[in-house]
Amino acid sequence: MLQCTKDMLSAKFDMTNLGKAKLVLGIEVIYDRQWGTAALHQTGHVDAILSCYSLGNCKLQYTLMTAGLSLAKLKATSRKHTALPYHQAMGSLMYLSQATWPDIVFAVAYLSKFMNGYDETHWMAVKHVIHYLKAMSTLPTIIKSDNQSAISLAQANQQAFHPQTKHINIKVAHLHEAVVAKMIMLVHCLTGQMITDMLTKALPRPKLEELKGLTNLQG
C-alpha cells in the first residue's frame, strides 16, 4: 500500500525518495530491523531547548514542580518581564508534551495558565521543568519484576528464543525493543517487596500493613 501511494504521488509530482524517515519535525525515528519496530525520541529537541536558554549545565531536577507550588495569577505581564522568553519556552514544552513526553503534560498545562501574565517566579517554574528534561532525557523508565526469567527474555536478542518460548515471542518483542531503545529498564524486585501485591492478592493483615507503609498511604 505504501509503495502504491508513492507511485501515485510520483506520477503527479516531482519527488525524491530519501528512504526511511530519520527526523520528522524534531522527532527522531530509530528503527530496529531485527524486531521490525520504530522508536520515537526527542533528545535532540531537548538538547536544543537546553542550549537556547543556556541551561546545558543546569542543576538536574527529578520532579516537575517544587512541592506545594502555587503561582500568582497576574492580570498582565509587567514591562520589565516582557523580555522573558516565556511564550517561546512554553511552545517548546507543549510540543514535547504532545509528542514523546506525556509525563510533563500536567506541569505544562498548569504553567500555560499564566501566558497572559507572568513574572520571574513563573519563569523559574518553567526552567524547573527544563531542568527535569535534562535529568530525564537519557533516563529509562524503571520497571520492577520478581520474575527473573521474564527479565532475561525481554533483555535477550531474538536468537535466545527456543521452542519452549516460541509462543511468547511476539508478546515480548515490544518489550525487547523498548529495552534496546533504553526507554525502559527492567530491575529484579524480591517477591516480598512487590507493592502491587496488596492490590492483586489476598494478604494477611501484617503483610498488607507492611506494603501499605511502603506507599506512605495512611488509613
| pLDDT tens per residue across span 81-128 | 999 999 999 999 999 999 888 889 999 999 999 999 999 999 999 999
- pLDDT tens figures, 9-29: 888 898 887 777 888 888 888
Q: Which cell goes with 212?
A: 501499605
Pick from 139, 44, 40, 45: which is nearest to 92 by CA?
Answer: 45
Tell me the DSSP string of 90-140: HHHHHHHHHHT-GGGHHHHHHHGGGTTS--HHHHHHHHHHHHHHHHHTTPP
For the entire predicted model, the pTM comes to 0.59
**Cβ-based neighbours of 166, under 8 Å, separated by 6 or more:** none
**Mean pLDDT (the chain, rounded):** 80
Mean pLDDT of 176-180: 73
As beta bridge partners, residue 144 has 187
Domain map (residue ranges) of the chain: 43-136
Q: How confident is the model at residue 153, as a pLDDT?
A: 56
| Contact of 149 with 105, CB cutoff 8 Å | no
- pLDDT tens figures, 199-219: 777 778 788 778 878 776 654
Region of 51 please: left (phi>0), alpha (psi -120 to 50) or beta. alpha
- pLDDT tens figures, 23-77: 888 888 877 777 666 777 888 889 999 999 999 889 988 888 888 889 999 999 9
Residue with cell 506520477: 11
Q: Among 13-17, 84-88, 161-165, 180-184, whose mean pLDDT is lowest?
A: 161-165
Q: How confident is the model at residue 31, as a pLDDT?
A: 77
